[in-house]
A and B are shown apart, each in its own frame.
Chain A
Amino acid sequence: MAAQTRKAAIVGGNRTPFARANSVYARASNQDMLTAAIDGLVARFGLQDAQVGEVVAGAVLKHSRDFNLTREAVLGSRLSAATPAYDVQQACGTGLEAAVLVANKIALGQVESGVAGGVDTASDAPVAVNEDLRRVLMELNRAKTLQQRLKALSGLRPGHLSPSVPSTSEPRTGLSMGEHAAVTAAHWGIGRTEQDELALASHRNLAAAYERGFFDDLVTPYLGLARDNNLRPDTSMEKLGKLKPVFGKGADATMTAGNSTPLTDGASAVLLASDEWAAERGLPVLAHLVDAQTAAVDHVHGGEGLLMAPVHAVPVLLARNGLTLQDFDFYEVHEAFASTVLATLKAWEDDAYCKETLGLDGALGSIDRSKLNVAGSSLAAGHPFAATGGRIVATLAKLLAEAGPGKRGLISICAAGGQGVVAILES
């Protein structure tokens, strides 16, 4: 093992445009989309037949046949078939966690390069047979005699034919993620207007970034789609204000389809490497992955919001790196819901919360909002769960490279199960 660690370089990224569920990619599988994202990356960096150290990716909604999803995608791609791969899954943190895993192996000198990615389809999601039917079928499978078979089949009931569709409900609370977020929004007193403003900024920033060609070398069109089809460049406070709330109750019902992310299909991939590997190939180094941190909260019994784990992870990361929350040029806070971003920022500004819940000396303080999600985020782009991390890492790395050397960016991603993944990039 290397005596010293080194910081992994982010060379570039590629993603499919993101598509609202049941639209353009309705018939594309996770494997199709992940392969496309990898192949776009290969084309951009001339990596045909190249063997990168490792490809790490995952999906949140996964068919059982996709047990080796990433390796199968590699085999279908233009990378060398001798490229090892493995799957990871940490809910919406999957993409960023994959990048951290690749970066750590690069840091340790175990690999010189790697691809981190993620994919999700809510259109081609696995639909399982009803749990009761599954039991009957397994029984049938074990039956050896005709008699046993008939007995097993006699357990069949018409109701067994209704499929078991995956949901985004939390297994331990039965609440949907939106309902959880609504509880947090009410707790922190997040208003409708500020949520709509954040959504509007996301659409404006994403549209402007597309207009100036920012995504020309970050996105490759897929199945005829060239831009994220959730993007509404002409949306307005008025239009957003007309939408009916979908989560929350009474006066606290502030969350609409406009300020929540839609179910989305898409894939992303990021190329990471040692500086030497990049230099040998004349490839750019956009930024380095400096450090990362995960955290989890007890949203079941502990009274903390489901999506608040990044709030806990960031101060740990800051302390380890001797930084304050204000020491950043860009902030990428994943917009699962507008209210999640706003609750996160509010919590860091809250002296009592930071002392009592986070165990800090005082509030982390506020951030310069003009540095937040400047190229748009999930409210506008959409959120194919495991693909969001790759989108954010590549976007932030390019923003940092454009801003020049010595710039710093913070990524914060919340995930189901009360988890969070955060990271620091630096140009």
Chain B
Amino acid sequence: MSDWYRDFANSGLGATITKQLGLPRPVELRRFEPGQPLLPGPAVVGSAGQGRLQEQLTTLLIDAGVTVSSPTADGERLSAVLLDATGLTGPADLAGAHALLAPAVKRLAPSGRVLVLADPPADADSPAQAAARQALEGLVRSLAKELRAGATANLVLVPAGAEAGLAGPVRFFLSGRSAYVDGQVLTLAAADVPAGQDEDRPLAGRTAVVTGAARGIGAAIARVLSRDGAHVVLVDVPAAGESLAAVANEVGGTAVAMDITAPDAGPRLARQLLARHGGADVVVHNAGITRDKLLVNMDADRWNAVLAVNLQAQLDLTQALLDTEGALKAGARVVSVSSQSGIAGNRGQTNYAASKAGIIGMVRAWAPAFAERGATVNAVAPGFIVTEMTAGMPLGTREIGARLNSLQQGGLPVDVAETIAWLAQPASAGVNGQVVRVCGQSLVGA
């Protein structure tokens, strides 16, 4: 999908005009391609207080082929700044954060990354320590808004004991996979994390189910999961069978024409997964519908249809897979597609927002049970994603919707897909019960 405004703002004349008028100047984001280095340039690693992660982070970067440069060296532009803030004892230590970040951010290259790692405030020993840890959230979210040229800032909270699961999330936030994830806070959990994975094909040998895969974001998810090595089972309604078959044939997957709200959908899917694929490693609940109306004008059909597809079907399908021995393999990954509307609410979308907020409640409630099986369940909440659907919106609404975020542009279906594919990786074992927004740090519900 072309972004005419972004292209215009980056053209010779457009650049002059947009600069003089003080208009937003969105850039083309650095996006992931197989075989690409983790970062295009060097990174610096520093700490605020006496942190416990700096060495682990440095090793991780070096292993990934990244040049780790000195925080004080001049010259070369930085692709990333990593701040280990696990040593914070009180607000005074935050000065260390300022001291590291201020000069480094000045040197940050386009689509650069600021990644801060800290302990969860709730685990703090004292109010002063909790205050300092919580302060980081304000720092990161504000910095994300100050960054330009496609750069992002995110915060990863690492409780004691969760360090082993750090590599996957750190790689994600530094890589082009997280292009449209900005200003987010992710909390890790202690988990058994498999040692290493093939970074070019992290899902090799795995079977992944994607609902609503015939088009839009679902088709992008199927493509990315397949690119990462998974055999994809693509589910969509029988009426969408033509494009479903086309996407399935494109990604070398299996098409299942099925309405996920059908009474026997769960058992049917479970049986097929067992018989044909020996169970599923990844399940992505992406199918979703909107039936917008102001609440006072909304009939029961609109209400019920949205809740049935977007929420009840996810509960039923997941439960059926949990109930069928072997249908979900050990270490399974379930990812649900929520929405910004489910976090911030949206006029005319009481039904939709209810369903998408419900998803957040669902994954949080399921997380402990999944952890016991060595599995995870998470939600991804897209913001403004440019699809055929949004292409049909009036120009004004579309342009405003697309620019109301720190990256000053709409996300692409592939951005949602990359985040989901990352959550599906073996290395994401420590990410459970989380809601990851893919919204370019939207101003809505931030």
Contact = CB atoms under 8 A, between A and B. Distances in A.
A216 B245 contact: no
A43 B278 CA distance: 18
Nearest to A41: B245
B358 interface: no
A283 B245 CA distance: 18
A281 interface: yes
Interface residues of A, number: 25
Interface string B231-268: 10000001111101110110011111111001000000
A42 B249 contact: yes
Contact of B248 (A43, A49, A216, A219): A43
B257 A216 contact: yes
A223 B246 CA distance: 12
B275 A46 contact: no
Interface string A211-252: 001011101111110100000000000000000000000000
A217 B257 contact: yes
A204 B239 CA distance: 20
Nearest to B249: A78
Given A217-B257, A284-B275, A46 B242 contact: no
B245 A39 contact: yes
Contacts of A213: 238, 259, 262
B277 interface: yes
A255 B241 CA distance: 36
Given A40-B241, A40-B245, A226-B238, A46 B278 contact: no
Contacts of B106: none
A62 to B, nearest CB: 25
Given A216-B238, A226-B239, A43 B258 contact: no
A272 to B, nearest CB: 18
Interface string A264-297: 0000000000000000011110000000000000
Nearest to B271: A284
B242 A222 contact: yes
Interface string A299-326: 0000000000000000000000000000
A43 B254 contact: yes
B241 A219 contact: yes
A282 B276 contact: yes
Nearest to A46: B254
Listed residue (B239, B242, B258) with the most chain A CB atoms within 10 angstroms of its CB: B242
A281 B258 CA distance: 21
Contacts of A44: 245, 254-256
A48 interface: yes
Contacts of A86: none
B278 A282 contact: yes
A220 B241 contact: yes
Contacts of B262: 213
A328 interface: no
A45 interface: yes
Nearest to B257: A216
A283 B275 CA distance: 7
B245 A46 contact: no
Interface string A77-116: 0100000000000000000000000000000000000000
Contacts of A223: 242
Interface in A188-213: 213
B241 to A, nearest CB: 4
A114 B132 CA distance: 68
A223 B240 CA distance: 11
Interface string A353-372: 00000000000000000000
B290 to A, nearest CB: 22
Nearest to B245: A43
A46 B241 contact: no
Nearest to B233: A46
Listed residue (B231, B241, B252, B253) with the most chain A CB atoms within 10 angstroms of its CB: B241
A220 B214 CA distance: 13
A43 B244 contact: yes
A215 B246 CA distance: 19
A133 B276 CA distance: 58
Nearest to B231: A46
B249 A39 contact: yes
Nearest to A212: B262
A42 B249 CA distance: 7
A48 B252 contact: yes
B124 to A, nearest CB: 51
B266 to A, nearest CB: 14
A189 B240 CA distance: 46
A395 to B, nearest CB: 16
11 contacts: A40-B245, A42-B245, A44-B245, A44-B254, A44-B255, A217-B257, A219-B241, A220-B242, A220-B245, A226-B239, A281-B276
Interface of B: 231, 238-242, 244-246, 248-249, 252-259, 262, 275-278
Given A221-B238, A221-B240, 7 more contacts: A39-B245, A39-B246, A40-B241, A43-B248, A220-B242, A221-B241, A223-B242
Interface of A: 39-40, 42-46, 48-49, 78, 213, 215-217, 219-224, 226, 281-284
A-B CB proximity, top 3 nearest = A43-B245, A282-B276, A43-B255
